[in-house]
Amino acid sequence: MTGERLRLMAVHAHPDDESSKGAASMARYAAEGVDVLVATCTGGERGDVLNPHYPPVTGGPAEMNAIRRAEMAAAAQALGVRHQWLGFVDSGLPEGDPLPPLPEGCFALVPLEEAAEPLVRLVREFRPHVITTYDPTGGYPHPDHIMTHRVSAEAFAAAGDPERYRDSGEPWTPLKLYYNHGFSMARIRGAHEALLARGLESPFGEWVESRAAREIPEREVTTRVVCADWFDARDAALRAHATQIDPTGFFFAIPRDVEREDWPFEEFELAESRVPTSVPEDDLFAGVREVVA
């Protein structure tokens, strides 16, 4: 290919989200020569230590922030991608009934134009052809995930418009916007059935039943990227987030040989395209390669 180098930007809420959603696809594209940049909206300061095998962090948010920065750098290295912080403060996951108010100054409370500005600026600098983010529900209802969707949609809409964000760099129009589909019901059910079919124990039985009972409508999967050869890189990136990811826990519950055989891809939903393409697709750059080359 003699054309311009392809560029992919993945927008995430917290350090570790990039390693659990679309990570193997990013590693594959990076290995194939695509310039891949992860943009993380918040520092994950309000995250708890979620890995029971990790020693307690006693230094409060400042220490947590420092640890998570180091973890994020190691994860980016494992995936072979570049990384940029957008500089907002973690909103935390509110719990209780009624839910407590969000903490002052957190990402989810920042007005949209102000919250989207650093991302618009980064889009204009990095000039991605494709952007990935979360669906409008956030994928799960963490306020930072919903806000990440909102700033990504805003940047996709506005970055190419010279009348918008006038002081935030030269306009650049990204060509496609995708939503990650890390944990579709089809994937969990497929893993559940594959484990049972092999006579193995499945940790997903309860999930499959509760999801079926609640009848949550499934979002559309338009695009499956085959990336099994990069599952090892994804797993190394997950393990790099040692405060968050239990190496014996949920993310490692599917035996890797079963996963490779039954589910060798990651799934995405094409949200918007400014180039002609037809679904289903097997490449985030379908329709883009032709335009760029």
Instruction: Look at the chain and count its residues.
Output: 293
Among residues 126 and 134, whose Cβ is nearest to Zn ion?
Answer: 134
Size of the site for Zn ion (CB under 5 A): 3
Residue window 186-205: x/- pattern of binding to Zn ion, with contact defined by CB under 5 A: --------------------
Q: How far is the CB of 141 from Zn ion (least distance, A)?
A: 11
Q: How far is the CB of 138 from Zn ion (least distance, A)?
A: 9
In degrees, rounded to 5, the angle at the alpha carbon of residue 281 between the alpha carbons of residues 280 and 286 is 140
Among residues 14 and 129, whose Cβ is nearest to Zn ion?
Answer: 14
State which residue has the least CB distance to Zn ion: 14
Q: Is 17 annotated as a binding residue?
A: yes
DSSP 150: H
Among residues 20 and 273, whose Cβ is nearest to Zn ion?
Answer: 20
Q: How far is the CB of 67 from Zn ion (least distance, A)?
A: 16
Q: How far is the CB of 96 from Zn ion (least distance, A)?
A: 19
What is the C-alpha radius of gyration for the chain, rounded to an integer number of angstroms?
19
Q: Is 129 annotated as a binding residue?
A: no
Q: Phi, psi (5° rounding) for residue 257?
A: -70, -35
**Residues 48/90, Cβ–Cβ less than 8 Å:** no
Among residues 7 and 14, whose Cβ is nearest to Zn ion?
Answer: 14
Among residues 47 and 174, whose Cβ is nearest to Zn ion?
Answer: 47
Question: Taking the CA of residue 178 as centre, how many other CA atoms within 13 Å lie in the half-sphere pointing to its CB?
Answer: 30
Residues 208-227 that bind Zn ion (CB under 5 A): none
Distance, CA of 157 to chain centre? 19
Q: How far is the CB of 108 from Zn ion (least distance, A)?
A: 12
To the nearest 10 degrees (0 to 180), the angle between helices 231-240 and 23-31 is 120
Q: Is 181 annotated as a binding residue?
A: no
Q: How far apart are CA 11 and CA 153, in angstroms?
A: 11
Among residues 93 and 275, whose Cβ is nearest to Zn ion?
Answer: 93
175 touches Zn ion by CB under 5 A: no
DSSP codes joined into one string, 196-217: HHTT---TTHHHHHHHHHHTPP
Residue window 8-47: x/- pattern of binding to Zn ion, with contact defined by CB under 5 A: -----xx--x------------------------------
Among residues 13 and 130, whose Cβ is nearest to Zn ion?
Answer: 13
Q: How far apart are CA 18 and CA 246, in angstroms?
A: 16
**Residues 213/6, Cβ–Cβ less than 8 Å:** no
Q: How far apart are CA 21 and CA 71, in angstroms?
A: 16
Q: How far is the CB of 253 from Zn ion (least distance, A)?
A: 19
Q: How far is the CB of 13 from Zn ion (least distance, A)?
A: 4
Examine residue 100 and say whether the peptide bond preceding it is cis (omega within 30 degrees of 0).
Answer: no
> Distance between the two ends of the chain, CA-based, in angstroms?
7
Task: Mark the binding-site residues, compressed into ranges.
Answer: 14, 17, 145
Task: Mark the binding-site residues for Zn(2+), compressed into ranges.
Answer: 14, 17, 145
Return residues touching Zn ion (CB under 5 A): 13-14, 17
